[in-house]
Every structure is written in structure tokens, then in C-alpha cells.
Amino acid sequence: MTKPIRKAVFPAAGMGTRFLPATKSTPKEMLPLVDKPLIQYGVEEAVAAGCTEIIIVTGRGKTTMEDHFDRSPELEATLGRRGKTKLLETAVALSKLARITYVRQPEALGLGHAVLMAKEIVGDEPFAVILPDDIVDAVVPCMKQMVDVFAKTGCSILGSEVVEGDAIEAYGCLACKPMGNDPRLCEVSDLVEKPKPREAPSQNAIIGRYILTPGIFKCLEELKPGAGGELQLTDAIKALLASEKVFGFTYEGVRHDAGDKLGFLKANVEFGLKREDLGPPLRAWLKTLNL
């Protein structure tokens, strides 16, 4: 019997430099995708996967995330007085999504360091990691797909997708052997963070979804700076390979890199088009553009 995945860690202490100037005083994780901040999509995905405890790794200038998931008595009273029942329900439901704990990363030293900040709260159990700027649109939520695989393997699992050409240099890259019984699963034999395209062992990129065993924390504590001088989660997972099996998992769905300006614009159009209320007028307006 594998332990259930109850806790999900959200590294959200980065500086969001690709999205300046918007992210100078607004957390990237709070940028809206249609009408919900990016991080809310991730938290809802974790809850849909069965997680009951959300751990957000935060930093200076990021307190709006805490307000977003908290009660807002003035807003609730105003919505109640105005008879806006549906909006009131939405606001209250948001504060009851899950138990949310915040932990600070004093300096943005890298993704691996951000995950290490959650060590005490995670404790000795396997846990999920969701990067809130990677939005995965899927029939079965991406983390739920991964939790189901974890229940069968009990090993760390890295969400993965094949990327084209030189794009691999922006990702952690997996070398892996396919598994006979499941074409979506492969056994990882090596990992490289942000490889030069000619040196990449494959085109399999790690996306912002992980299930990690608690053994990762020892590897994170022993980590030396890697690509870009940052403490890289990929390097810690490579160290974990010495003592545990790690699997790559090709999720079913469409991912949007909403931490990048173009990816963010595309995600807003696609999510807007899917909405019952906004889709038809948005589609009609897009058709009038002389592209």
C-alpha cells in the first residue's frame, strides 16, 4: 500500500522576471486567467487530485495570495446586501477550498530551494509539487492522473511532455527507458536542467507537475548551485536516482506556459473561448480581426 498524496507544495516565491513590469509589485501567480488567478487553477487541480493540505512557498510582496484564499467579511457583506448570491457563494467557497499554509523563502535561490522550505510541513510522506504558472487543461486533472500512477508505483513521478527542437533548453530534460505495460510511463535514467539542444539526452521536458517521495529533502539539503547559479530541483531528483526509481509520465491534456507573455495571452484566448458566457462574443470579435 502506498501512502496517499495529501499535501501539495506550490513554489510561488520567484521574481517573475519574464513578466516585468506587471510582476514588479503583483505576484505572477496572481495574474488572472480570464477571471481567476493562475494559482487558483493549480490549487483546484490539487484538491481534485485528493490533496487536502496546500503549502504555498511565498516571499516578499506576495501577500495578495494569502488574502485571495482567505475570508473577506466586507466583500461578503456587500455581496449579501446587494443580493449577489452566486458571487457570494463563489467568494465563500474559495476560502474553504483546502487548508492552506504559507512558508517563506527568504531569497529566490531556485526551485529546489523553494521546495526545501516546505520540508518541515511536508514531513515524512510523499507529496505533490505544482508550479502555478504551468496551467494544464485536461479532462482528468493532470495531478489526478499522476496520483493514480503513484498509487500503482509508489515512486517519484515527473510530469513530462515532448517539446520541439531547441525548446528543450528552457526545461529540465529526462533520459528514460519506456515501460512495456504503459506507453505514458518511462523509467528515468538521467536528468539535465536546461541542456544545450545538441547535448540534450532527449526531447522529453519536465513540466510543472511532480510527485516526490520524502527522500528528496536529503538531496535538496546537499544540493549545490546548478544551471543559472540556482539550486535546481532537477539536480536533486538526479541525486535521488542513486537510491530510488523515478518515473516520467506523459500526461493527457494541453499545457500553457502562463509565466511567459505569449503563453499567457494564448491561454487567456483559449480559456475565454471555452466559457459559456464569454466564448460566443469573444469568438465573434476574433472573427472581425483582419488577421
Which of 7, 69, 133, 176 touches ligand UTP (CB under 6 A)?
A: 133
Selected binder of ligand UTP within 116, 118, 130, 131 (CB under 6 A): 131
- Residue 15 as a binder of ligand UTP (CB under 6 A): the answer is yes
Spatial CA neighbour of 190 closest among 174, 204, 202: 174
Rule CB under 6 A: which of 242-261 touch ligand UTP?
259
* In the complex, least distance from residue 12 CB atom to ligand UTP, rounded to whole angstroms: 5
CA-CA distances (angstroms) from residue 207 to 99, 149, 239?
25, 16, 19
Q: Where are the alpha helices (DSSP H) in 11-107?
A: 38-48, 63-68, 73-81, 85-95
Nearer to ligand UTP, 79 or 256 (CB): 256
Would you list the DSSP string of 225-257?
Answer: --GGGS--HHHHHHHHTTTS-EEEEE-SSEEEE
Contacting ligand UTP within 23-52 (CB under 6 A): 28-29
Is residue 13 a contact point for ligand UTP (CB under 6 A)? yes
3-class secondary-structure state, position 67 = helix
* Beta bridge mates, 191: 174
Provide, rounded to whole angstroms, the least separation between the CB of residue 51 and ligand UTP: 17
Q: From residue 9, how far is each of 132, 208, 212, 274 by CA, in Å?
A: 10, 11, 10, 28
Interface residue with ligand UTP among 18, 119, 194, 266 (CB under 6 A) is 18
Q: Which residue is nearest to ligand UTP (CB)?
A: 14
Beta bridge partners, 34, equal: none
Our CB check for ligand UTP shows the closer of 68 and 186 to be 68
- Interface residue with ligand UTP among 8, 49, 56, 57 (CB under 6 A) is 57
Regarding 212 and contact with ligand UTP (CB under 6 A), the answer is no
